[in-house]
Structure 1
Amino acid sequence: MFQLGKTIVSEDIIEKDFVCNLSACGGACCVDGDAGAPLEEEEAKILEDIYPKIKPFLRKEGIAVIEKEGVWIKNEWGEIETPLINNADCAYVIFDEKNKTLCGIEEAYNSGEIDWKKPVSCHLYPIRVKDYSEFSAVNYHKWEICDDACTLGKELQVPVYKFVKQALVRKFGQNWYDELEKVAAKHLE
């Protein structure tokens, strides 16, 4: 672990390799698990505002859950997250013609309907950020459904932090990321 500004960062994000391999997993991270995507408070407000523009991109099952439970929910620990369809799929999940998982929010973004890509927690994956009062912990989340992404990352020699560069800059800023690159270069010497 090392400190970077007000973050404590796991060395795994430098040492481990990762490149999403949707053709291998089909987007399982959006349909497996027992919780929705973590949301920041500002993101919950954004979802409320843009839901009408996202709705045409969603499946009827997702729309039904969202209209019953809301565009976001609070879990048993009081944390904000996306609702789930039958305790599995994220309510914003859609499928392409090959049954590959896509994000309805991101599809609305890609179509120019909205200017917000998706929740930063999804954009950052496989990095998970846990905010504490004095700092944020930045960790690599190892999940067996992403083994193919680890294999592809190793083959292409892409460390986790480079794979999620855009999301890290979005979350922490360009200066933070520039410092991370310096730490990574020194660490890998």
Structure 2
Amino acid sequence: MGLKKQLGMGVMSAVLGMSLIGGGTYAYFSSSETTNNTFATGTLDLSVDPTTIVDVKELKPGDSVTRDFELKNTGSLDIKNVLLETDYSVTDGEGDNTEDFGDHIQVEFLYNADKMDEVIYETTLSELKDMKPEAVNEEVFQEFLGDGGLEPESQDDLVVKFKFVDNGENQNQFQGDELNLEWTFNAQQGDGEEK
């Protein structure tokens, strides 16, 4: 064989060897398994029954009204905190109000119906309106619901007493007034935990 032929054969062998190394096949054992995983969230659902707590007419200084209502956890998660936001508006009746009618409405949060004489927290409606919802939770709902909060599919009765305080002075400015109170209850979940 000539040198050219030997050199051509060598080059061809090298090219063939390189293609086998680069594109060669490898044999190995393998196994695979697929898992199906689910992450489902729970629900947080607080309801209040009845939705109209107080509807009183012909109120005069010294009158009070006690109402109870149910806080229900209709969700699947614990409710740790209940944040209460208070807002109200006053429609001025016959007098020219120089004072806030809410300063004259005393609010007492009481224990459930069995212990209605025990006050959890007492304030005026105007002070309650100015309180941060977290502070109301601390003063009222943590005491009322305890450390466990409100468990799923459970309910608890809350009793509230409203009193138009008779301050012993002329309160004619409030004659014919109407106070519309709006309470917004916001539920917060409990702490996360290892599942």
TM bucket normalised to smaller: under 0.3
Q: Judging by fraction of residues, say which structure has more strand.
A: 2
* More helix as a share of residues: 1
TM-score with structure 1 setting the length: 0.25
